[in-house]
Amino acid sequence: MNLRTPSAPEVLDAQQRLNGIAVRTPLLRSDALDEQLGLRLLVKAECLQHTGAFKFRGAYNCLAQLSPGTYPGGVVAYSTGNHGQAIATVARMLRLRATIVMPADAPRVKMAAAERQGATVVTYDRQSERREAIAGEIAHRIGALVVPPGDHPDIITGQGTACLEALQDLAPSTTVDAVVVPCGGGGLAAGTCLAVAAHGAQSAVWAAEPEAFDDTRRSLAAGERLVNARLNGSICDALLAPTPAELPFAINRRRLAGVLTATDSQVRAAMRLLFRELRLVAEPGGAMALAALLAQPAQFAGKTVVALVSGGNVDPHVFVEALLAE
């Protein structure tokens, strides 16, 4: 794995690479949300990105830089879903072979989407097997590159382009006090920190995690990478990385303002609000930043806050449950 720490200006390079390729997703707002939260909220709708998640950005930024022919077996990704789907889609665009290692309990829509893109899907048991080991073994056998969801500088800077766009799309007179992003392994948070620096902004970047899966919050407090007690048991399937990824953690510990958390119930409330007020389909993990603002609104009272909705790949029955949970 390439663990070189990327510099902030590399987010600008990534944006050049993605120009005309990624969807320039809109920044949305509503009076009703502002009134409910007591702050000025801007929602970056990355659920509208290709493959339904910001992961497309990092995947393209990374794979587009591979030298042709270096990896005859193409690329291998292990993923709770969205990263794998992004790698599969980008590999098809760039005519690379792709193998995706997914937990056996990942949403069916995510597996089907990867296979539709021509990728080979290999499943594993989240409780008893290590995805990194399986991916490494396959890559060695077929001559492929393992593309991790966070531990690569080009993945991190690619993810950062979402926040960069949001800052660029605002009038120069608008000061963004805080940017809140969902956090699993921490790659999006790290890229967002670099994007804020690349834009010359002073915005505080906050990561948001499921309450019982707050590995990044505890790791930052401890100064070392800690693991979650459990590996499942939250509806936020996209945010259940067992521990912070190494390279993102090195960036986040220096640059992150802090970590917020929210419960599954607050996540469902955020999904309902995004549906009703902004006509967005968010998957549970995708709604985590807004859920964290719902959980801790006082901390941001009167501030201008960008919340990133990171993905929208959700099984219909999970979405229906959130809509009707009120």
Residues that bind its own copies (CB under 8 A): 20, 23-26, 28, 31-32, 45, 47-48, 52, 109, 113, 116-117, 171, 272, 275-276, 278-281, 312-313, 316, 319-320, 323-324
75-78 and 98-103 strand pairing: parallel
What's the min distance (Å) between Cβ of 44 and its own copies?
A: 12
Shortest Å, Cβ 47 to its own copies: 5
Q: Are 216 and 190 in contact (CB under 8 A)?
A: no
Compare residues 182 and 186 and give the one whose CB is closer to its own copies: 182
| Dist. CA 310–CA 48, nearest whole Å | 9
Nearer to its own copies, 89 or 216 (CB): 89
Backbone angles phi, psi at 130, to 5 degrees: -100, 120
Q: How far is the CB of 206 from its own copies (least distance, A)?
A: 24
Question: Given the complex with its own copies, which of 24 and 303 has the nearer CB atom?
Answer: 24
The DSSP 8-state label assigned to residue 311 in this structure reads B
**What is the nearest approach in angstroms of its own copies to the Cβ of residue 311?**
8
**Nearer to its own copies by C-beta: 23 or 226?**
23
Residues 6+ apart with CB under 8 A from 124: 101, 102, 103, 104, 131, 134
Say how far residue 118 (Cα) sits from the centre of its chain. Answer: 23
Contacts of 60 (CB under 8 A, 6+ apart): 17, 18, 21, 22, 86, 90, 93, 158
Shortest distance, position 37 Cβ to its own copies, whole Å: 15
Q: Which is nearer to its own copies, 239 or 247 (CB)?
A: 239
